[in-house]
Amino acid sequence: MYRTHTCGELRIENKGQAVTLAGWVQTIRKFGSITFVDLRDRYGITQLLFRENMNQALDENPIGREFVLQVSGAVSERSNKNPDIITGDIEIDVSKYTVLNPSKTPPFTIQDDTDGGDDLRMRYRYLDLRRNAVKKNLELRYRINRIVRNYLDSHGFMDIETPFLIKSTPEGARDFVVPSRMNPGQFYALPQSPQTLKQLLMVSGYDRYYQIVKCFRDEDLRADRQPEFTQIDCEMSFVEQEDILHIFEGMIKEVLKEVKGIEDINPFPRMSWHDAMRDYGNDKPDIRFGMKLVNLEKAAKGKGFKVFDEAELVVAIAVEGCGNYSRKQLDELTDWVKRPQIGMQGLAYVKSHTDHTYKSSFDKFFNEAQLNDIASACGAKPGDLILIMAGKEAKTRKAMSELRLEMGNRLGLRKKEEFKALWVTDFPLFEYSEEDGRWMALHHPFTSPKKEQVALMSQPEHFGEIKANAYDMVLNGNEIGGGSIRIFQKELQEKMFSALGMSREEAQEKFGFLMGAFEYGAPPHGGIAFGFDRLCAILGGSESIRDFIAFPKNNAGRDMMLDAPDQIDNKQLEELQITIVKE
C-alpha cells in the first residue's frame, strides 16, 4: 500500500495514529536541526516534520522540490497551527521516508501566483496542472459536467457517441481535414459539430439525445477561441421552440443553483434579435446593467451639425453620474473609440450638469433646449454624461455596443458574481455576405424559417426579412448556447440549399444523406448546443476558456507541450499519396 491517507485528509482527531502518505514536495524549510516539508497531492497539503534523528537519512538521501515521496510517521498536534489549510492543526512526525522519484528543479514555482509566463506554463502544462488554481478550474469543470449529465439523464436524454471522421458539417468555419490512407486522395472532415448526425438520430427515433463532445473548427483564433472545444450538444424530437427553451433553461438554472447557490431564479427574459440589436447593439447583450443605446435620429439631426446630419445612424448612451467627467477623461474616451479595434472618427458628448445646464462638444450648433431634447431622449438625469457616435449604421452600432461594455467595466457594473441570463430569439434566417456575394445561413442551413414565412424562401428579394426558429442563450454578455428548430422535410431543405446558392447536384453530393433520411419519416425536431468551456470559464469567474481546458492550444493553434502540429515523415506522406509542394 503506497498510502493510508491523502495529503488533505488528516485532522486533529487522527492524533497519535501511524500513517503513510505519498505526494510531491512543495516546500522545504530548515530550522536549525529540524526540517519542515510541505507534502502535496490532489487533495491538499500536509506538513511533515523531520526531527534531528532524521538528519543523517536526509544527508544520505536528500530531497528537493517536486520529489515524489512516501512518508511514514505519527500524526501529531502542531504547535504552530495554520488555520488557512484544512490539515493545519497537525503534522506528521516522520520516522521513515522513501524517495519514489526525484525531480529536476521545475522551470517555475508550483504555487497560485507562479513566476512562470504563459508560454512556459503551456510547455510544461503537466506541471502547471499541479497548481491549485488550475486544479480548482478542472474540478469545477468536472462538477458542471456531472450536474449537466445528471439533469439530462433525469429528463430522459441518452448520451450517444457520434464519429469524428465524417463529412463536412457547415457551422460557418473551415473544416479540419484528415487524409484517408485507404481511400487515396480523399479526406474526412472533423465535425464542426455533430449537427447532421444528431438530426439523423432523431430520424432513427432517439428522441432525446445529448453528448458532451469535442468540436473542431479551423478559425482564426481571435481572443480566446480554441480549434477544438467542447459542446453540450442536444437534440429532441416532437418539440417546439418553447419545449426546448424550457428544458435547457432548467438545465442552466440547475447549474447556477448547484455551483453558485443561486436559487429562485426568475424565468429568463426573452428578447428578440431585433430588440437586442436596437437596445444593446449586439445579439448577446449583457443585461447586468442598463445604459441602453438610444437612436437620436429625431433629436440630433437637422440642426446644421454635419457629423450628425450626414450620418446613417446617430446613437447615444447615457452614463449615470459621469456628468462631471473632465476634459482629460473625455479625450481619453475619444482616443479609446478611435483605436483601430473600434475604428470611429470621434466621440461627441453632452454633459448634463446637476444645476440643469448642459455642456456639449457641439455647442456651436445646439442651444440649451435642443441639448435638453437629447438628454430626455436618452433618459439622462442631471449629473449624467451622454456619449454620442455617428456614422455608418452597422459600424456605429457595433462601436457603441463596445463603448457601452467598456463604460460598464469602468463603472464596475459587470460584476463577476452576478449572473444574468436571457434568451435571444427570432434571429434572421439569412445574412448577406458582401464578400461572397450571396446569402448565408446565420445559424446553419438546417435551421427552419418561421412557418408563416416559408413562402418567402422562393423570393430572394425578401430573404432579408425571413426570421428563423433560432435562439441563443446569453449569460453575462456571452452567447453560451444556441440552437434552432430544424427543417425536417426534403423539399424545404432543398429550397434552403438553393437559397444559399447551391446547385441541386452540389446539395445532393454534400447533403444527400440527410435529405435521403428525410424521405423515411423524419420527425419534427430541434436542438441546442452549449459552449461547455465558456460556461465553465464564466462560472469560474475567468475571461479565458484556456484556464478550464487541461491541455489547451495557444493563439497560433499550437500545442506547446506536444509541439503540434508537426511535420510527418516521408513514409507517412507516401502512404497517403500526398506530396508537399514547397513555395
Q: Which residues bind ligand ASP (CB under 6 A)?
A: 171, 193, 195, 482-484, 527-529
With respect to ligand ASP, which residue has the nearer C-beta, 125 or 444?
Answer: 444
Could you tell me the smallest distance in angstroms from the CB atom of residue 174 to ligand ASP? 15
The residue count of the chain comes to 583
Spacing of C-alpha 281 from chain mean position: 20
Could you tell me the smallest distance in angstroms from the CB atom of residue 503 to ligand ASP? 24
Could you tell me the smallest distance in angstroms from the CB atom of residue 432 to ligand ASP? 20
Q: Distance between CA 350 and CA 386 in Å, rounded?
A: 5
Local structure of 10: helix, strand or coil: coil
Could you tell me the smallest distance in angstroms from the CB atom of residue 173 to ligand ASP? 10
With respect to ligand ASP, which residue has the nearer C-beta, 215 or 390?
Answer: 215
With respect to ligand ASP, which residue has the nearer C-beta, 216 or 548?
Answer: 216
With respect to ligand ASP, which residue has the nearer C-beta, 390 or 528?
Answer: 528
User: Amino acid identity, residue 107?
Assistant: P
Local structure of 459: helix, strand or coil: coil
With respect to ligand ASP, which residue has the nearer C-beta, 47 or 282?
Answer: 282
Given a contact cutoff of 8 angstroms between Cβ atoms, the answer to whether 344 and 338 are in contact is yes
With respect to ligand ASP, which residue has the nearer C-beta, 138 or 212?
Answer: 212
With respect to ligand ASP, which residue has the nearer C-beta, 197 or 386?
Answer: 197
Residue 81 to residues 85, 87, 215: CA-CA distances in angstroms? 9, 9, 48
Report phi then psi at 446, rounded to 5.
-100, 5
Burial of 214 (0-12, 13-18, 19+ CB in 10 A): middle
Could you tell me the smallest distance in angstroms from the CB atom of residue 286 to ligand ASP? 21
**Three cell numbers at 36?**
519542515
Could you tell me the smallest distance in angstroms from the CB atom of residue 180 to ligand ASP? 24
Could you tell me the smallest distance in angstroms from the CB atom of residue 482 to ligand ASP? 5
User: Amino acid identity, residue 261?
Assistant: G
Burial of 9 (0-12, 13-18, 19+ CB in 10 A): middle
Could you tell me the smallest distance in angstroms from the CB atom of residue 443 to ligand ASP? 6
3-state secondary structure labels for all residues of 468-521: ECEEEEEECCEEEEEEEEECCCHHHHHHHHHHCCCCHHHHHHHHHHHHHHHCCC
With respect to ligand ASP, which residue has the nearer C-beta, 210 or 366?
Answer: 210
